[in-house]
Amino acid sequence: MQNGQERREHGEQPDFVVQPAQEDEEQPVIVVGEAEPVKEEKEQPVIVVGEAEPLVVVDEAEQRLNEVQQKADEYLDLLRRTQADFINYRRRVNQEQAEARTNAQVALLNQLLPVLDDFERALEVTPEDLAKHPWVQGLFLVTRRLTTVLDQLGVQQIGAPGEQFDPRRHEAITLEERADVPEGTILQVARAGYALGERVIRPAQVIVSGTPSPVSGASG
């Protein structure tokens, strides 16, 4: 145990005090008492007063979220454009296929219609006494069969007496002056026309009425 003098030399508070002996005393007097408690210095918190740093992490997360949202919008817009292009492509392909089928049908009908014309002309000039002949009846059956096939394909005959002349569907081969019918009226069909839906395969050749000229009316 260190005495008071030694604790003082080391900077410590002694637990007891040694007093030097008096001249008439042989032993030093030791005074025992409570040592003063050593105060522990606690580290005080340092408060820094100033501007707080911005929340960099929150800003970066928000920026990243905006970038992801922008990318998602770009991908969605790209998907919509791709879908629209595909729909337009499919519509265009279907239209091209329909036009190709129509063109093929028209090409075949252009080869078939003259044959039908020949049968109809042959029947028109058939003598009346031969109308019941088996050979004539055979021509009649073939003609009717061709007409039925055309009907099943959607082919319609165009051009009939009394209709108004339409340059898109009719071809005027003769203009006949008539005062008893309106101008532009079909008087006679020289060759029947045919149409497939709205598409004219061939126009009807017709004779159309015209207005009599003043000179011809005065001379009559």
What pLDDT is stored for residue 142 in this prediction? 92
What's the rounded mean pLDDT across residues 126-153? 90
Q: Which helix (H) or strand (E) holds 201?
A: strand 199-202
pLDDT, position 148 = 93
Residue 20 has pLDDT above 80, yes or no: no
162: alpha, beta or left? (left if phi > 0; alpha if psi -120 to 50):
left
Distance CA 220, CA 210 (A): 16
pLDDT in tens, 31-89: 445 555 555 555 555 555 555 555 456 788 888 888 888 888 888 899 999 999 999 99
Rama region for 167: left / alpha / beta (φ>0; ψ in -120 to 50; rest): alpha
Q: How far is CA 97 from CA 102, 121, 152, 213, in A?
A: 9, 36, 20, 51
> Is the pTM value of this prediction over 0.85?
no
